Amino acid sequence: MRRLSRGLAAALLAGAGLAAALPAGTAVAAGPATAGTAVTSCGVDWGSLPKVSTDSRYKPLRDIRTGTHECYDRMVFDTLGPDTGAPIGYHVRYVDQLRQDGSGEVIPVGGGAILEVRVAAPSYDPETGQATYDGKVRQPLPGVDITGYRTFRDTRYGGSFEGDTQVGLGVRAKLPFRVFQVGNRVVVDVAHSWRGFH
């Protein structure tokens, strides 16, 4: 019985640690959390102010995927090539309207608030000009189904302009979020509520 209790405690601690911060080398899943990785505490300090990283070495975008977890919904931007540790720039902020880079046209995004996500990963290979991501401007992200998510309400592809890919993420309300890089990926987590967040 003691052995089972220790194993259960270890699983719970591992899940709680994943919610607070991802240690180096941790895989970034975009799918739902499993029973073994259930998150038991959502108390972290994220906030809703813009998150920016300007240091970047551009890599083409390969895919955008999402997942839902106990404390937050997650969007992951995957880039091409091996993980070299090179930084991937980003600029993520709440906006009143999503305006397409270059044209300035408004792209309607559903939800109570709009998170504009710009990642320094063009949807094409700069050397060949060939598309590496199949997004269509003003349309939902291809292959992304956010049905049943607690926080995400809509996704819209804004396009690629001057090396950045722009996405409009419609969320339920203006909620705390965090942005970080793990390997070849930029991760955006948006909390389900303000409870436990600062």
Q: Which residues contact 9 (CB under 8 A, 6 or more apart)?
A: none
3-state secondary structure 22-49: CCCCCCCCCCCCCHHHCCCCCCCCCCCC
pTM of the model: 0.80
Residues 20-61 pLDDT 10s = 334 333 345 565 444 444 445 676 689 999 999 998 888 899
127: pLDDT confidence band, cut at 50, 70 and 90?
A: confident
Q: Which of these, 95, 68, 104, 65, lies nearest to 168 by C-alpha position? A: 95
- Which domains does the chain possess? 45-191 (2.60.40.3500)
Query: Going by C-beta distance under 8 Å and a sequence separation of 6 or more, which residues neighbour residue 79?
Result: 59, 60, 61, 62, 88, 121, 184, 185, 186
The number of C-alpha atoms within 13 Å of 190 and in the hemisphere containing its C-beta is: 28
Confidence of residue 83 (pLDDT cuts 50, 70, 90): confident
Rounded mean pLDDT of 1-24?
36
pLDDT tens, residue by residue, 130-140: 999 999 999 99
**In 3-state terms, what secondary structure has residue 166?**
strand
What pLDDT does residue 84 have?
Answer: 81
Mean pLDDT to the nearest integer, 76-89: 89
Phi, psi of 5 (to 5 degrees): -65, -40
